[in-house]
Chains A and B, each alone.
Chain A
Amino acid sequence: MTALDALTPQAPPPAEVTGGGGAGPWRSAWRRLRRNPAGIVGAVIVLLFVLVAVLAPLLAPFRPATSEWFGEVTPTSVPGPSDEHPLGLDSYGSDLLTQLIYGARSSLVIGVVSTAVGLAVGALLGVLAGGIGGWVDTVIMRLVDVLLSIPSLLLAVSVAALLGRSPVSIMLAISAAQVPIFARLLRASLLAQRGQDYVVALRSLGLRQRRIVVGHMLPNSLGPVLVQATLTLATAVIEVAALSFLGLGDPNPAVAEWGRMLVTAQDRLDQAPWLALYPGIAIAVTALGFTLLGEALREALDPRSGR
């Protein structure tokens, strides 16, 4: 509303021109990010998740998926917490805490790799579409529309079904669902910038189109891409679990995986509900962490938010 908009131009940014520069856009974004409590919570969660995943062999009390204590599991009961096993055992007789810790590992690897692939392919398509335009744009965007019209999980299921059950096919499945997101994001960002004065100014200075796109428009799109990548990691973690849950996950039982832990916990929900609870919490908290961080990044990178 106009009445409140009137407030913003009242406080032009301070402009003491003495003293060194260095308040670059990334740096001021970082400053805003640090002031956002939700962002800090998100960042801490993400950091913990990454640390746990990377340091899993050091942190976990045992080796994963050994079924070492299979004898202690009976058809009617799963041993709960004990001195040796702080969270108890899983239904195959492996240490639950160890399984959870190693689960973070597979989630991180699959999430990061699939997002990276999705981003790379999507960004390339988006840049080609938005940077070249014309029929290239039309063809790419129709392709992307087709991809987008398939629900992402269904797309992932089809890819997994097509390529068989393997970690690679899970990654491909998840990144296939992400390609359209990044392609559209970048194309929209480039198109929005194409008419902006600064791009017109660069053209009038005699810069080549390629240099304008790669050297200026693309870096100015990085903010939204970074935000989207962070938010996409949250969905990727959930999708990895969902695919495993649907039986399309990594078939290797020696790899601990949160989604599969949920599946196996199902049979014993009445006797040992914590078997589902712990991986469920792990998935939810990790996704929440990435989401909080992504939203905080979005706010921090938005030049309209206060300095």
Chain B
Amino acid sequence: MTGVSLLDVEDLRVRFQRKGQPATTAVDGVSFSVDAGEVVGLVGESGCGKSVTSLAVMGLLPRRGTSISGSVRFDGTDLLALSPSELARRRGRDLAMVFQDPMTSLNPVLTLGRQLTEVLRAHTDLDRAAAKKEAVELLGRVGIPDPRRRAGEFPHQLSGGMRQRVLIAIALACSPRLIIADEPTTALDVTIQAQVLDLLTTLVRESGTAMVLITHDLGVVAGTCDRVNVLYAGRVVESAPRGELFAAPRHRYTQGLLAAVPRVDAPEGTPLHPVRGSVNDRLAWEVGCAFAPRCAHADAACRVPDIALSGPRPEHTARCVHPAGTPLEVA
């Protein structure tokens, strides 16, 4: 929060205006920061704004019908103020993205080696031969067996897990300083998911790259992130170091989510405590905490506009009027 981080997102707001429809606010004042060598999680369910946030940071939102405000400082420069061509130069070299679906993110008619060398040659001054060599090297680094042969293959010849590794290799191609991974393992089976997460975190730790990991899976967060931002309805509702978030969640939404997820290591007969309602319920609730209509602890105090992120320590804050750990009577 001190403004010296590698990536500093301040009060980011994204509104979509489509013809003939009311404008929707997808991201509503999101702030977070990421340091070098750090993995920061953006967690939330569909519609919470996590993916839109990442696309806004990367400058990948369509220009028409979108209004973005706030600031996205990367190493001191505001990415939102850059021209599209300047931003494009930064993408790939300084910032890279790994998407959920490894099939549609790769060009089906180009060999893997070709797709890698293309990125390398666009952002570095390697010649063709050197880029080819580097591409094979990268494929090896992300754990693809027999990289020289694989470089000559096409995306459809690889399994889902292997394709995701190739995407990671492409993201790593120019040694970016920040990687944004948007649900990188959601399309993969658990055993493959474990491998890919392992690979990503190892690469980040070894090279000092920063990573923003976007996911809906609290289990994935628990295994990989240093800091976690929980999003709900376009806002960060809780921000905490990983250990604290899971041990002592403050926001009622975070708490509710953790109680609603079944665990493989739970003793037999552990009941689930579902969160009632669905995200759409906020439509009826105009002012105040968006989670209040679904919250067992909500009362009139939750109908205050602009509830701030607060907490006993600046490292662990929540946007909640009745946070867990504070009895209702006191609040």
Give the B-binding residues of A (Cβ under 8 A).
1-7, 9-12, 14-16, 35, 306-307
Give the A-binding residues of B (Cβ under 8 A).
16, 18, 20-21, 24, 26, 46-47, 49, 51-52, 55, 58, 60-62, 97, 99-101, 104-105, 182, 278-280, 283-284
Q: A2-B105, A3-B55, A6-B182 are in contact. Are A12 and B47 (CB under 8 A)?
A: yes
Q: Give bound CA distance, A306 to B20, whole Å.
A: 10
B46, B58, B105, B182: which contacts A9 (Cβ < 8 A)? B46
A6, A12, A14: which contacts B52 (Cβ < 8 A)? A6
A3 (CB) vs chain B CBs: closest residue: B60
Q: Are B280 and A1 in contact (CB under 8 A)?
A: no
Q: Are A16 and B47 in contact (CB under 8 A)?
A: no
B18, B47, B284: which contacts A10 (Cβ < 8 A)? B47
Q: Are A1 and B104 in contact (CB under 8 A)?
A: yes
Sample 24 A-B pairs with CB under 8 A, ordered by A number.
A2-B99, A2-B100, A2-B101, A3-B58, A3-B60, A3-B99, A4-B62, A6-B100, A6-B182, A7-B16, A7-B26, A7-B51, A7-B55, A10-B46, A10-B47, A10-B51, A11-B16, A11-B26, A11-B47, A12-B46, A15-B278, A16-B283, A16-B284, A307-B21
In the assembled complex, the CB of B325 is this many whole angstroms from the nearest CB of chain A, namely 32
B20, B52, B104, B279: which contacts A2 (Cβ < 8 A)? B104
In the assembled complex, the CB of A304 is this many whole angstroms from the nearest CB of chain B, namely 14
Chain B residues with CB under 8 Å of A306's CB are 18, 21
Max chain B CB contacts within 10 Å: which of A7, A10, A14, A307?
A10
B60, B104, B279: which contacts A12 (Cβ < 8 A)? B279
Q: Are B280 and A6 in contact (CB under 8 A)?
A: no
Classify the secondary structure of A's interface with B.
loop
Chain B residues with CB under 8 Å of A307's CB are 21
A1, A3, A11: which contacts B24 (Cβ < 8 A)? A11
Chain A residues with CB under 8 Å of B182's CB are 6
Chain B residues with CB under 8 Å of A16's CB are 280, 283-284
B19 (CB) vs chain A CBs: closest residue: A35
In the assembled complex, the CB of A305 is this many whole angstroms from the nearest CB of chain B, namely 11
In the assembled complex, the CB of A6 is this many whole angstroms from the nearest CB of chain B, namely 4
Chain B residues with CB under 8 Å of A1's CB are 104
Q: Give bound CA distance, A2 to B182, whole Å.
A: 10
Q: Are A6 and B46 in contact (CB under 8 A)?
A: no
In the assembled complex, the CB of A10 is this many whole angstroms from the nearest CB of chain B, namely 5
Chain A residues with CB under 8 Å of B97's CB are 3
B55 (CB) vs chain A CBs: closest residue: A3
B46, B49, B51, B280: which contacts A15 (Cβ < 8 A)? B280
Max chain B CB contacts within 10 Å: which of A4, A11, A15?
A11
Chain A residues with CB under 8 Å of B104's CB are 1-2, 5
In the assembled complex, the CB of B21 is this many whole angstroms from the nearest CB of chain A, namely 7
